[in-house]
Structure 1
Amino acid sequence: MRRRALLGAGGWLAAAVLTTLACIWAVSLIGTDMAGQAVRIMPLDEVERVLATSSAAPPAAPPAATGPQAVTGAFSYAEGAVTAACEEGRALLLSWTPAPGYGVEEVERGPAATASVVFESDDRTAVISLTCPAGKPVAALRSAAEPDED
């Protein structure tokens, strides 16, 4: 009986040690990503600085459109970039990327006679509208300053 009690206590002790080691190892992973590299939280001013220096160019290759007869086009403006497709005379937004300092306010993706995206910053609003008058995407930009809220 004494031997059974010692084995039980030893097993419990081994399980407790293994659990403790596993917890210590798991806690040591906090602060590293899955590849084992340290993760650093960036302050807001550093994030804004990085975003201000990055480019807002459209994707290098526009994504494939939905159908075999679709025609695509990429358009880039100071406020942001869009990639669109035309199929059967209807516009479809494939992708949209706001420029640094802008965010996406509203998207009418289509397919429709007119697809559009609204990019907005603290002081400007830009609407990019896309149509397909001759089977090819055509973009129009309407940009305006935000009214002061005084």
Structure 2
Amino acid sequence: MNRRVLLGAGGWLAAAALTTLAGIWAVSLIGADLSGQAVRSMTPDEVGRVLATASAAPAAAPPSATGPHAVTGGFSYAEGSVTVACEAGRALLLSWTPAPGYGVEEVERGPAATASVVFESDDRTAVISLTCSSGRPAATVRSVAEHDED
């Protein structure tokens, strides 16, 4: 073999190795934010634990949605959490958060005599109805198990 060919192949291999190392280093930087701290994704188990221990904080209503005399209340169930405001005998659903494994199927936000939200999982549907009883928030839950008909 010719010496030139060996030097050319060696140079090409060195350049390829250097480029590969630079690429690996650059990709490793993607996992660090501007402060230099590494960022990693949460595992599904970690997400489940965080969601199971998180409390649904009531969302603040827009100033035009409730008046100064509105009374708010929060309710939590196995299917999810809701926050409602009562003013002038009408219910306004401020926030709703389904529990892990549930989704939101339907929302009747109000303001109305009755506001509602439907939380649904693969095997259960829960309808949470919110009213204002004597000016204070009240909730009722109707939960139905879903059965597959084959």
| Cα shift at 1:112 | 1.4
Q: Which amino acid aligns with 1:142?
A: R
TM-score by length of 1: 0.68
Q: How does 1:1-150 map to 2 (within 5 A)?
A: 29-44=29-44, 46=45, 49-50=48-49, 54-55=52-53, 57-59=55-57, 63=60, 66-150=66-150
Q: Does structure 1 conserve the Cα–Cα contact (< 8 Å) formed by 2:82 and 2:95?
A: yes
| Cα shift at 1:99 | 1.4
Q: Which amino acid aligns with 2:125?
A: T
CA RMSD, Structure 1 to Structure 2 (Å): 2.9
Aligned length: 125
Q: Which amino acid aligns with 1:112?
A: A
Task: Map Cα deviations across residues 100-136 of structure 1 (whole Å, 9 max, x no partner).
Answer: 2212222111111211111111110101010113211
Residues 119, 27 of structure 1: CA spacing in aligned structure 2 closer, same or farther, 3 A cutoff? Answer: same
Q: Which residue in 2 is equivalent to 1:20?
A: none
| Cα shift at 1:38 | 2.2
Q: Does structure 2 conserve the Cα–Cα contact (< 8 Å) formed by 1:57 and 1:76?
A: no
Q: How far apart, in 2, do the equivalents of 1:42 and 1:109 lie? A: 33
TM-score by length of 2: 0.68
| Cα shift at 1:141 | 0.2
Task: Map Cα deviations across residues 32-78 of structure 1 (whole Å, 9 max, x no partner).
Answer: 3454332323454x3564367x236432x663672111011111111
Q: Residue 49 of structure 2: SS of its match in structure 1?
A: helix
State the identity as a percent: 72
Q: Does structure 1 conserve the Cα–Cα contact (< 8 Å) formed by 2:114 and 2:129?
A: yes
Q: Residue 137 of structure 1: SS of its match in structure 2?
A: strand
Q: Does structure 2 conserve the Cα–Cα contact (< 8 Å) formed by 1:73 and 1:137?
A: yes
Runs of 4+ displaced beyond 4 Å: 25-29
Give the unaligned 5+ runs of structure 1.
Answer: 1-24
Q: How far apart, in 1, do the equivalents of 2:35 and 2:137 lie? A: 42
Q: Does structure 2 conserve the Cα–Cα contact (< 8 Å) formed by 1:32 and 1:39?
A: yes
